[in-house]
Structure 1
């Protein structure tokens, strides 16, 4: 039987990490906001949504970011770079998040109150290292969603974990409760990305 590729599968197939971008291409801020709003449908631990975004479009800011990102060309050539940040105090939003769930009919007041208390108890009691692990996991979920949505909108992306995170936080004056996780450059490809092989799933999977 020949299966027909779905639109989602096609986007997943077409998404590649692009490092060469057309210069001078501007993505309207409204379009970037639409992209990020859609991406926030990603799941997160206890629905705490710990991601924050810093979108770097200004040409001077790009030049300042370049050495922090180890001189990766896409920083200055792409339309923008989206920094995915993590909020170490995300659990302080538990009340507002679960109040909204009640207002929108997603759960009862009793369940929401229980979730609020559980979230505050759990995350406030974690070590910084453990909390960062939770946040980085959630940041990975939304980062992939951003890249797939960008491809669906006609843009290319490349994720970058290789940059000086301490310098980034200091230079862009992040509040103490925020830390950078990954950078995602976005724009229009100047040249096609290289293809890349994948290990067959059969070699990676065990069933028990």
Structure 2
């Protein structure tokens, strides 16, 4: 599918075929595309928790406003990110770069992040957001639908997936074979309202 078509056709689909299974090859392709997303310093904070266990998915649905897609979609992905990835063997993020480039960026990474907890969390969230959009567009390009979700109780979900203390929990994404047309688009704001040239008035 053309990338413009994927962007325009991607919708938040709520109803899925609960019997449909994506192949291992499709799943690998999907996440291989998702990890092409950009991250600051190439840190690659994202950690995609692919919830396969039906019992865990039922428990997530129970604390997720009973959203059917949490159990019915082929995949349920909980987006998380490692806020401390910047200090965990950072040289590996630049393993294939010229030495002078790798040294420059790896040596800059620590001072840029140290003592700035707000920045570490913000960067982790930004990275998750970009990866989640890539994941949904890749799914659309493969002929699947998706639904991003924040309507769940974060603490129980964090416990269910055993979220490490230095990770942040983000939205979830359901991916699968949609069986019901989404509602018509409710309407996009005009560009004149959201596109600002140079500075706010």
**What's 2:167 paired with?**
178
Q: Distance in 2 between matches of 1:93 and 1:17?
A: 37
Look up the match of 1:207. 197
Output the CA distance in 1 between the equivalents of 2:196 and 2:110. Answer: 37
Q: Which moved more, 1:132-141 or 1:53-62?
A: 53-62
Which residue matches 1:84?
A: 79
Shift of 1:111: 2.0
- Aligned match of 2:92: 96
The CA deviation string for residues 89-114 of structure 1, in whole angstroms up to 9 with x for no partner, is 2112421111x232xxxxx2122112
What value does the CA root-mean-square deviation take over the aligned residues? 1.5
- Residue 54 (1) aligns with residue 44 (2): no
Secondary structure of the structure 2 residue equivalent to 1:181: strand
Contact 2:124 2:168 in 1 (8 A): no
1:131 and 2:120 are equivalent in the alignment = yes
**Structure 1 position 188, deviation (Å):** 0.6
User: Structure 1-normalised TM-score?
Assistant: 0.88
Which of these residues, 190, 200, 203, is aligned with residue 179 of structure 2?
Answer: 190
Question: If the length of structure 2 is used for normalisation, what is the TM-score?
Answer: 0.91
List structure 1 runs of 4+ shifted beyond 4 angstroms. none
Task: Quote how far apart the aligned CAs of 1:137 are.
Answer: 1.0
**Which one is further off, 43-52 or 54-63?**
54-63
**Would the alpha carbon gap of residues 150 and 93 (structure 1) be closer, same or farther in structure 2, given more than 3 Å must change?**
farther
Aligned to 2:110: 120
- Alpha-carbon distance in 1 for matches of 2:62, 2:121: 25
Structure 2 CA distance for aligned equivalents of residues 68 and 121 of structure 1: 39
Say which SS state the counterpart of residue 70 (structure 1) adopts. Answer: coil
Count of paired positions: 196
Q: What displacement does 1:130 show?
A: 2.9
Check the 8 A contact 1:16/1:195 in 2, yes or no. no
